[in-house]
Structure 1
Amino acid sequence: MPTRRLGRRLALIGLLATPLSAQEAGAPMSAIDWLSDSVAAPLPLPATPAEPAVTPTRPTAPITVSPLDAAQGRPDAIGILSPAVTGLPADLWGASRAEDIARRIRAERAETLPALQALLYIMLLAEIAPPRDASADGRSVFLARVDKLLEMGALDQAGALLERAGLDDAEIFRRRFDVALLVGEEQPLCETMSDMPGLSPTFQARIFCLARAGDWTGAELLLGTGSVLGLIGEDQAELFARFLDTELFEGEPPLPRPVQPTPLTFRLYEAIGEPIPTNGLPLAFAHADLREDNGWKARIEAGERLARTGAVSDNQLLGLYTEREPAASGGVWTRVAAIQALQAALDDDDTEAAAEALARAWSALTATRVEVPIARVYGPRLHAMGLPGEAAQIAFRMALLSDGYESAARSGTPDTPLDRLLAGVAQGDVAGLAAPDARAAAVLDGFRATRAPARLASLVEGNRLGEAILRALALFDEGVDGNLDQVTDALALLRAVGLEDTARRAALEYLILDRRG
């Protein structure tokens, strides 16, 4: 090994004996506990010999260098969907406290019925007047919205909100930097950190960005400084050492895999040729598997995970299923083969083949809980084909799960009590219909209610409509697991406040899909 490389290796390895800093020893301080700590308050100046030593600290208080221009310093007001698009009132939060809104947003489930997800997305992305309480910091609801989008794996949507929030707040910037890391577009933000010292990037972020800019010497010097100051722990120091010069560690055993990697750690492992599998990681990391250079199987499985929270489009999922011929059988390939057989039958307008393929495809989609995205694509066309037997019922229900649910209900000829109820729900008219089971009875009760339920009425009457809707979404989720009264109350509230489309879609999905357990 050349003398220069040997010296660099000894220097880098020597860094690994430094103590682990308090921040690196624990989880980052955030509601989303996998966020990178990419920015912090500036470090204090080194003490002079006549003064007592100063212990470096890394608080995460906001750093204000310029006013936010998107919402006059109130990120809570930022949105990308106007009231004209969402149909929600601009004063949706009304008299609610910011703390209560943020808490309810964080309590919502990421994976739920698609109709409830769609409404939640709208509320997270809507332009809404900020809460009125004077004690609000102007960003607590905004951060809760962004964090929920990150939890759902909706990186594009989270990124769009963050871009409108400016660059002067540490908690906002760190989320924006992490989104950029997860989608592989961090270079512009690295340049921003270089141009705006007030952001005070941490050593880890600065080392990464210096290396991205080709300043390897500067990155190595900063790694040494950060390690000496105790701001980079042993595990991070070794990871950065390999990142800065992978060849120095050829033949060394792989690094231990972190249990809870941040996006920055995830990218560094990827860069040194030791990618961390995304299964078991937070959903936002699954986007890394969607890249074209990954294996087809990994991309399909990532697409399915993200489809269950609405974080990828219907056509994107279908495109993954139909990309090429399956090379194996079993597992994911069973779903691929079933969907491709159904697509081929539709391409040939072959009713018999479509009927045969549909049962297999529906079973495969149900097993992985991605029925609705594919139903929205295929449902209306399959229903219009006039398929025979069991396939006709599946096609009818798929059409009811699509955007054309009301048209499908009018044109169908349901021949079971449940299908007749489904047709009535789709048209918003359940008069004279009977409930074949307790779950159906809960839906009927919700559609027959004439006012908001008692448990939610006080929120509506107290000018806290947004909170009432969020609570209704949570009630419906809990009701899916067995508390039928909650399903009834959630549907009654949605209809009472004018969210008829969501109520119908949610009821149809609840009755058609089995999401218990």
Structure 2
Amino acid sequence: MMEPPVSHGATSPRVTVTPLDRPSKDPIGLLPADVTGLPPTIWSSSNEDTLVTLLMAERIEMLPAIQEFVKVLILAEADPPLNASPSGRLFLARVDKLLDLGAIEPAKALIEQAEPDTAALFRRWFDVALLTGTENDACDVMGQKPSIAPTYSARIFCLARNGDWSTAALTLNTHRVLGDITQSEEMLLTRFLDPEIFEGEPPLDPPARISPLMFRMHEAIGEGLITADLPLAFSHADLRPTVGWKSQIEAAERLARHGAVSENVLQDFYTAHTPAASGGVWDRARAVQRFDRAVTNQDADAIALTLPAAWAAMKQARTEIQFSKLYTQALQDTELSGDARSIAITVGLLSPNYEEVAINAETTSYDPFLIALARGRPQEVRVTSPTALAIQAAFNGAQPPAVLQTLVDDGKLGEALLRTTAIFNHGYAGDFRSLTDALSLMRTVGLEDVARRAALQLMILERAT
């Protein structure tokens, strides 16, 4: 299963005005059926309202395998649902869920594939542009088609960004008089347009609800906001080169643990500079750098020595999956023993090559249940823990619940899968019957890889539910 694609390049998409009775954008996706393994009919027999409700109810905190699969569902090319509205409510929900998950590059690519030719789509495209520092493209489009501006504040901001400060000030004053702009928006826009007259004044109180536009304007007037407490997508703003290294690493870690940036992006930030302090993020960067040097030098002794600290750092940051993608092959190619060998197997079982790693580890003393699970045969090992027993049942012939199987039989596969991911999350929280039900449905519809990876992650990763 491929990772969700990203947008390439900074070229503005073609924006046109289309009639209200235009075809729905719901069929648009980035992953064709031969990539996802899912039929194009996953949505076509389900009601649009039901799908939108299920999709928006998906949790942000999920195991990586489940989260990755939800993104695949979102990005799949598929026929529209029943009663699909011309506004493309399911398409908008797909974009919104990607933004909730911090996946702004796939969201941007999806919007641009559809063309942001409506106010609703343009607003989302503009938000993404603000968080990635590419708002000039969106402002250029807004300058050509002012009517597509999502808010008056956005229009004023872009007039200023395009160098038309006098028109921006006039527009602000006009809409202030008309009552189209709130007092807090007026205060922020006024400082943005003429910051010099407010020198020495106390900073503005941060608004209770932060939009990407407010975030960027606060930054522009020298009153930047901390992203750690904001929705996940805002963390992308801290990846820009104008941000300090510590904040960059922390943002990359937040995004990586949700699969919103690749393992290579995370690695680049960890290794960008030499840590000048100790504790927290600096210790993690130092541990990764020492281990990475050992791997680069193919020094088995150094790898064995530095691996425990690097792995502990990744567990602390909850970025184990990214680490496994980066280093599984190198660890499998290195002769290790003792604790280092055990860690290497654990890392490998969290990688896409989990089955190959399990085959190579069958003669070791590593947990036989995890080895059997990676091979798809967990029922062959005696276990006693409730979680392991629930997983065993799913791989030992347990049938999916009738309500899910009926949805599949009725051609409502996408709806069944959205319900299944929600059920899995209940199982993840300790409802063991739900865990069996979800894994059984996945295996029944051919999602064996998703089922195994989710079960392995559930057993290995230390996650609060």
User: What's the TM-score, normalizing by structure 1?
Assistant: 0.83
Distance 1:199 1:324 in 2: 43
Equivalent in the alignment of 2:269: 320
Equivalent in the alignment of 1:468: 416
CA contact (8 A) 1:380 1:398 kept: no
The equivalent position to 1:309 in structure 2, one of 248, 255, 258, is 258
Alignment of 1:368-447 (within 5 A): 368-413=317-362, 415-416=364-365, 419-447=367-395
Q: What secondary structure sits across from 2:367 in the alignment?
A: helix
Distance 1:206 1:171 in 2: 15
Shift in Å at residue 436 of structure 1? 4.5
Name the stretch that deviates more: 184-193 or 330-339: 184-193
Alpha-carbon displacement from aligned partner over 1:187-240 (angstroms, at most 9, x marks no partner): 222222232244255321111111011111111111110110111122211111
Alpha-carbon displacement from aligned partner over 1:121-168 (angstroms, at most 9, x marks no partner): 11111111000236x345111111101000011111111111122343
Alpha-carbon displacement from aligned partner over 1:215-274 (angstroms, at most 9, x marks no partner): 111111111101101111222111111111111111111111223211111111111111
Distance 1:65 1:233 in 2: 29
Segments ≥4 residues shifted beyond 6 Å: none
Q: What secondary structure sits across from 1:452 in the alignment?
A: coil
Equivalent in the alignment of 1:188: 137
Question: CA distance change for structure 1 residues 365 and 300 in 2, over 3 Å: closer, same or farther?
Answer: same
Shift in Å at residue 277 of structure 1? 0.9
The one-letter amino acid of 2:451's match is A
Distance 1:340 1:68 in 2: 55
Alpha-carbon displacement from aligned partner over 1:91-130 (angstroms, at most 9, x marks no partner): 0113210111111111112231111111111111111100
Indicate whether 1:142 and 2:117 are aligned.
no
The equivalent position to 2:66 in structure 1, one of 116, 122, 134, is 116
Q: What secondary structure sits across from 1:88 in the alignment?
A: coil
Indicate whether 1:228 and 2:169 are aligned.
no
Equivalent in the alignment of 2:43: 93
Question: CA distance change for structure 1 residues 68 and 352 in 2, over 3 Å: closer, same or farther?
Answer: farther
Indicate whether 1:477 and 2:425 are aligned.
yes
Distance 2:116 2:448 in 1: 39
Distance 2:382 2:242 in 1: 53
Distance 2:25 2:237 in 1: 28
Distance 1:380 1:440 in 2: 27
Name the stretch that deviates more: 265-274 or 187-196: 187-196
CA contact (8 A) 1:383 1:392 kept: no
Shift in Å at residue 394 of structure 1? 1.0
Indicate whether 1:164 and 2:137 are aligned.
no
Shift in Å at residue 429 of structure 1? 2.5
The one-letter amino acid of 2:229's match is G
Distance 1:282 1:485 in 2: 32
The equivalent position to 1:490 in structure 2, one of 438, 446, 449, is 438
Distance 1:271 1:198 in 2: 25
The one-letter amino acid of 2:344's match is A
Distance 1:389 1:455 in 2: 47
Q: What secondary structure sits across from 1:375 in the alignment?
A: helix
Identity %: 47
Q: What secondary structure sits across from 1:144 in the alignment?
A: helix
Alpha-carbon displacement from aligned partner over 1:326-358 (angstroms, at most 9, x marks no partner): 111111112112111211222232323222222
Distance 2:384 2:265 in 1: 37
CA contact (8 A) 1:266 1:275 kept: yes
CA contact (8 A) 2:23 2:86 kept: no
CA contact (8 A) 2:379 2:395 kept: no
The one-letter amino acid of 1:238's match is M
Q: What secondary structure sits across from 1:90 in the alignment?
A: coil
The one-letter amino acid of 2:91's match is F
Equivalent in the alignment of 2:407: 459
The equivalent position to 1:448 in structure 2, one of 388, 396, 401, is 396
Question: CA distance change for structure 1 residues 68 and 320 in 2, over 3 Å: closer, same or farther?
Answer: farther
Distance 1:269 1:144 in 2: 28
Distance 1:114 1:220 in 2: 47
The equivalent position to 1:275 in structure 2, one of 224, 232, 243, is 224
Distance 2:242 2:208 in 1: 25
Equivalent in the alignment of 1:66: 18
CA contact (8 A) 1:480 1:515 kept: no
CA contact (8 A) 1:482 1:516 kept: no
The equivalent position to 1:505 in structure 2, one of 433, 436, 453, is 453
The equivalent position to 1:130 in structure 2, one of 80, 97, 100, is 80
Alpha-carbon displacement from aligned partner over 1:442-477 (angstroms, at most 9, x marks no partner): 111111125433342222122211111111111111
CA contact (8 A) 1:68 1:74 kept: no
Alignment of 1:2-21 (within 5 A): none
Distance 1:286 1:181 in 2: 12
Question: CA distance change for structure 1 residues 227 and 68 in 2, over 3 Å: closer, same or farther?
Answer: closer
Equivalent in the alignment of 1:45: none
Shift in Å at residue 396 of structure 1? 0.4
Distance 1:152 1:204 in 2: 26
User: What's the TM-score, normalizing by structure 2?
Assistant: 0.92
Shift in Å at residue 185 of structure 1? 1.4
Please, which runs of 5 or more residues in structure 2 have no aligned partner? 1-15
Equivalent in the alignment of 1:14: none
Distance 2:161 2:242 in 1: 20
Shift in Å at residue 315 of structure 1? 0.9
The one-letter amino acid of 1:507's match is A
Name the stretch that deviates more: 204-213 or 189-198: 189-198
Distance 1:323 1:166 in 2: 36
The equivalent position to 2:204 in structure 1, one of 255, 261, 282, is 255
Question: CA distance change for structure 1 residues 200 and 94 in 2, over 3 Å: closer, same or farther?
Answer: closer
Please, which runs of 5 or more residues in structure 1 have no aligned partner? 1-63
The equivalent position to 1:287 in structure 2, one of 236, 242, 249, is 236
Distance 1:309 1:228 in 2: 44
Distance 1:428 1:358 in 2: 28
Alignment of 1:208-247 (within 5 A): 208-247=157-196
Equivalent in the alignment of 2:246: 297
CA contact (8 A) 2:370 2:378 kept: no
Q: What secondary structure sits across from 2:117 in the alignment?
A: coil
Name the stretch that deviates more: 445-454 or 434-443: 445-454
Query: C-alpha root-mean-square deviation of aligned residues, in Å?
Result: 1.9
CA contact (8 A) 2:24 2:87 kept: yes
Number of positions where the alignment pairs a residue of Structure 1 with one of Structure 2: 450
